[in-house]
Chain A
Amino acid sequence: MTSPTTVSQIKNRNTGLWRRIKHANAWTAWFMLVAMAIFFLLPVYVLVMNGLKDPASAELSQMWRPPSTWSWGGFSEAWERLSPSMINSVTLVVPATVISTFIGSVNGYFFAKWKFKGSEYLLMLLLFGFFIPYQAVLLPLVRFLQWTGLYGSVWGLILTHVIYGLPITTLIFRNHFSTLPHGLFEAAKVDGAGPFRTFWSVMLPLSVPSIVVVAIFQFTNIWNEFLFAVTVVPNPEAQPVTVALNNLSGNFSVDWNVVMAGAVTAALPTALVYIFLGRFFVKGVTAGAIKG
């Protein structure tokens, strides 16, 4: 004889089922995440494993196997051939990142807090920069740089990247400054700070997370950029690491261990920047500005 099912029993059964579904979901999510992680880590695995092989055993047919004999030869040769251009890259990327981040923050501040007639249209025009493909500007860019005498120098490349970076850096900073409480801005005004003093003493110190985001973004983009680099700087001695990496693979034969080791080496600085600057990714710096 079965006892009649009570309402609470039905509810319990339902929550049990619900829990099982949620459980199943959790497992599915886990499975998906692990699969994705493997998918993304596979190229890294191949890079590192083949970079550590000796030249003879580094070949396409054996690319999935770990090295039978471990060798640092690939890395040392890659370093030897890439290090001059790594330095070129640093002298390119650091100023380009700093300048485009700074100009972007000033732009964003004025677009967010000192709106003037037509400023919205000006911002829209600026944002058009997003949609112009690199290839489309190559010819006018080269002509312009030749005309200004910057063609072939790292400063020409810096200028190019600063200008190409302005739409995104301006947009990120404008959106950030729009979220800062307007009261702070007014308080600074009443306290006697002019537009630039307000920017420097009040707005910028509250923008560390945005500065970090923009800096990482710009650093990675400019470091990895190839087309402008190879076009604007034809002189191999001044070329950044992306171009040098491309030149590692010779015309007739490819030393896979060197190429793989070179790719790992060239990618290291961006990874380091992310790991180092990521720590400054602090949330909640505006806590306590206004009530709540």
Chain B
Amino acid sequence: MASVHLREISKQYPNGYRAVKGLNLEIEDGEFLVLVGPSGCGKSTALRMIAGLEDITDGKLVIGERTLNDIEPKDRDIAMVFQNYALYPHMSVKDNIGFALSLRKVPKKEITTRVNHAAEILELSPVLNRKPGQLSGGQRQRVAMGRAIVREPSVFLMDEPLSNLDAKLRVQMRAEIAKIQKSLGITTIYVTHDQVEAMTMADRVAVMKGGHLQQVGSPKELYNSPTNAFVGAFIGSPSMNLFEGTVEVKTHETVLHLGTTELTLSEQTRQIYPNINTYHNSKIVVGFRPEDLEDAAFVDTSENAQGYFESDILLAEELGAETMIHFSLDATPVDVGDPDAVEKVGANGAAVARVDSRTTLTAGTRGKIFINTSRLHLFDASTQQAIKSR
């Protein structure tokens, strides 16, 4: 067990492409850190550099007390779970799990004990003598896990280990992996593009984009105070609505203009963003989460921290427990540069609200939607960084 330190780690490929740019991360002993980001953000490359499968171009990798830049993967005391499992097809489950131990000349008896123990944890005991080809997808995933945990390494590295499972199994394994990690207490670095996985499993999440680290923090921190618009949009589902707005400082209050809508900033928001008044008459990026909006019919209007949009309802998606309302907004949507965003939130000037399922709003009608202005996220228009006390 050990802490992991990445100091200014960079990766540049021979063709000049820089996949990771000056990555700094401190991962504590026993911590579950999730590296998350859209495809091509450098998260897998970072993990493979820690594993020793990619050379580190620049910077320093320290696990425990040892600098590992030029150490072979087999001498790094790490175990890895691959996205496609990479099980040895000609070996039985038992041999797959025990292979690393037999390479380390662990006595046969001890290998059997440890393999059986790992199989018990993973409920693989009945299939120990089968070949990977005879297993279901979920079982293969478990074998891949078993191969890692039997080693009792100082660090687990997991590269999108659940992305090949179907949705139901993924949710189940998500909880199981988190549970196993907690009980073993082994430092884990887990790569995924799925922010839900990141939020549910991690002690801390590190968000990457374009080779740069964007923000590290607990899931709550990332959700509540994203450092920039990208993190704001990336964490949370559906994504945060992001529109251009203009600040107007009046005598007793500060007002945001979102298209033709005017929102008065709550006292609380002005405390969180004390510098907001310096943006008088200039553009900023305004972010608000779908869950901070509500059908006006279900809101107690006596609360003060609220504004409202009155707009055309474009689409109502009924999910049972709640309804997603897409409504038009005449402000300019903001692109945060997520390469994976298929359906850009805010495209065609639409915003999304997560409202009470009893709503009567339907496509084609005009509706009134309330917004909790204490929960606004404000970003600088040019840097897209959160407006904080500067």
Contact = CB atoms under 8 A, between A and B. Distances in A.
Contact of B137 (A184, A285, A291): A291
A286 B89 CA distance: 6
Contact of B87 (A192, A193, A205, A288): A288
Contacts of B82: 183, 186-187
Interface residues on B, range: 20 to 34
Nearest to B132: A288
A287 B147 CA distance: 19
Given A191-B99, A191-B103, A192-B104, A291 B140 contact: yes
Interface residues on A, range: 20 to 34
Nearest to A290: B84
Residue from A181, A183, A206, A286 whose CB has the most chain B CB atoms within 10 Å: A183
Contacts of A194: 74
B212 to A, nearest CB: 26
A37 interface: no
A192 B74 contact: yes
B53 interface: yes
B80 interface: yes
B346 to A, nearest CB: 35
Given A205-B90, A291-B164, A186 B53 contact: yes
Contact of B53 (A184, A189, A192, A201): A189
Contacts of B137: 291
Given A285-B90, A288-B134, A190 B73 contact: yes
A22 interface: no
A26 B82 CA distance: 48
A204 B199 CA distance: 42
Interface in B224-279: none
Given A194-B74, A197-B103, A202-B88, A288 B80 contact: no
A274 B140 CA distance: 36
B53 A285 contact: no
B131 interface: yes
A184 B86 contact: yes
Interface string A175-191: 00000010110111111
B376 interface: no
Nearest to B104: A192
Residue from A187, A193, A206 whose CB has the most chain B CB atoms within 10 Å: A187
Interface string B47-85: 000011100000000000000000011100011101111
A288 B131 contact: yes
A285 B74 CA distance: 27
A291 B104 contact: no
Nearest to A182: B86
Contact of B135 (A183, A285, A288): A288
30 contacts: A181-B86, A183-B83, A186-B80, A186-B82, A187-B87, A187-B147, A188-B99, A189-B53, A189-B74, A190-B53, A190-B74, A190-B79, A190-B80, A191-B147, A192-B74, A192-B104, A193-B74, A193-B103, A194-B74, A202-B88, A206-B90, A285-B89, A288-B89, A288-B134, A288-B135, A288-B140, A289-B89, A290-B85, A290-B87, A291-B164
Given A188-B99, A288-B134, 9 more contacts: A188-B88, A189-B73, A190-B74, A191-B103, A287-B89, A287-B133, A288-B140, A289-B86, A290-B85
Interface of A: 181, 183-184, 186-194, 197, 201-202, 205-206, 285-291
